[in-house]
A = this chain, B = another copy of it.
């Protein structure tokens, strides 16, 4: 193994999870990361592009749902390995599969596939600063300096400083109430938990063995019995790996935060201010998107007439919005959503109603 190879970071891109929070754009068969929400390509493609800097990063390993193989391959043509989860088991087991597939000496950068980072170079600089800690056995998380008292995110509290821009992580905390979020943002010691991690694969697997042995065991068994798809091993399309289904399904479904971060020693946080956004709702999409003079975001064929502050998006039919304010109006060929922008999380109620009435064709 060449020194250059071993010194590069292996991106691990997590592309599982359906995500119904952007219904009717996102569907069971077209999860959020496959959507072009900002005009620059799918969230997954943008994520891969962010770590396509060849001096710093090796080709990525992607973990995705088995039904997403072709879609992922189309979005990320240069991937190294594509691990197809037999079933969703949350992030800790997914990352375990990738850690087992990676070079044992490699430093991994774990990335969700459905986030935006406006300042990609600033993000990579942050990764470079944190690299020494990861090599020394720390698990480094990237905290996102909060831009508002968001109650929909988890937060990380900074502990003692370890170096310029790197702190020991004091605590991982779940979604706060509004007053707590206000206090944290004012206090300057809490960052949003962006779900991005840097660590050696061995560090992660050791932490799993110590704190979540059932996950480690299931992932090892699943990879030991994995089938590798020979037809995909050449031509730059990456190797497709099918972990053994029964073994993997035996794993507890736990997030990396719960299984490892809240329990392990030597967790660091590197706060970044790089225009990060988890587009977890239409309200969040409205915040990051370009607006007209009246605060409307109009994507696709749409007319906003005497209308203010709306998110209007169509993948097909023309949407004419007249005299309305602060609405989300999203249209596809088979479904239309209308909801006040600040209630856009309530889309889940429509999804639940469709499920209850057997309209799975629209999910």
Q: Mark A143-175, 1 if CB is under 8 A from B, else 0.
A: 000000000000000000000000000000000
Question: Which of A24-52 touch B at CB < 8 Å?
Answer: 24
Q: Which 8 A-B pairs have the closest CB atoms?
A: A320-B350, A322-B339, A319-B336, A323-B343, A318-B335, A321-B338, A322-B346, A331-B336
- Residue contact A324 to B353, C-beta cutoff 8 Å: no
- Residue contact A346 to B323, C-beta cutoff 8 Å: yes
Within the complex, which residue of B322, B324, B336 is in contact with A320, where a contact is CB–CB below 8 Å?
Answer: B336
Expressed in whole angstroms, the Cα–Cα distance for A150 and B65 within the complex equals 59
- Residue contact A324 to B349, C-beta cutoff 8 Å: no
- Residue contact A343 to B322, C-beta cutoff 8 Å: yes
- Residue contact A339 to B321, C-beta cutoff 8 Å: yes
Expressed in whole angstroms, the Cα–Cα distance for A74 and B339 within the complex equals 40
- Which chain B residues lie closer than 8 Å to A331 at the CB level? 317, 331, 336
Q: How large is the interface on A (under 10, 10 to 19, 20 to 34, 35 or more residues)?
A: 35 or more
Query: What is the oligomeric copy number?
Result: 2
Expressed in whole angstroms, the Cα–Cα distance for A337 and B337 within the complex equals 12
Instruction: Tell whether A359 is near chain B: CB-to-CB under 8 Å.
Output: yes
Instruction: Tell whether A314 is near chain B: CB-to-CB under 8 Å.
Output: yes
- Which chain B residues lie closer than 8 Å to A210 at the CB level? none
CB distance from A341 to the nearest CB of B (A): 10
Expressed in whole angstroms, the Cα–Cα distance for A181 and B354 within the complex equals 45
Expressed in whole angstroms, the Cα–Cα distance for A327 and B333 within the complex equals 21
- Residue contact A339 to B323, C-beta cutoff 8 Å: yes
CB<8 Å pairs between A and B, sample of 27: A24-B320, A303-B353, A305-B353, A306-B349, A314-B336, A317-B332, A317-B334, A317-B335, A318-B334, A318-B359, A320-B336, A320-B337, A320-B347, A320-B354, A322-B337, A322-B338, A322-B339, A322-B343, A322-B346, A322-B347, A322-B349, A323-B340, A324-B339, A329-B336, A329-B338, A331-B331, A338-B338
Assuming A318-B359, A322-B343, A323-B343, is B349 touching A305 (CB within 8 A)?
A: yes
CB distance from A25 to the nearest CB of B (A): 13
- Which chain B residues lie closer than 8 Å to A321 at the CB level? 338-339
Assuming A318-B359, A333-B317, A362-B318, is B327 touching A338 (CB within 8 A)?
A: yes
- Which chain B residues lie closer than 8 Å to A359 at the CB level? 318
- Residue contact B318 to A336, C-beta cutoff 8 Å: yes
Expressed in whole angstroms, the Cα–Cα distance for A329 and B346 within the complex equals 18
Assuming A305-B350, A331-B331, A350-B305, is B317 touching A336 (CB within 8 A)?
A: yes
Nearest-neighbor residue (CB-CB) of A333 within chain B: B317
- Which chain B residues lie closer than 8 Å to A306 at the CB level? 346, 349
- Which chain B residues lie closer than 8 Å to A319 at the CB level? 335-336, 338
Expressed in whole angstroms, the Cα–Cα distance for A250 and B59 within the complex equals 76
Expressed in whole angstroms, the Cα–Cα distance for A231 and B192 within the complex equals 77
Given A317-B336, A320-B335, A327-B338, 10 extra CB contacts under 8 A: A305-B346, A317-B331, A317-B334, A320-B336, A321-B338, A322-B337, A323-B340, A324-B338, A324-B340, A336-B336
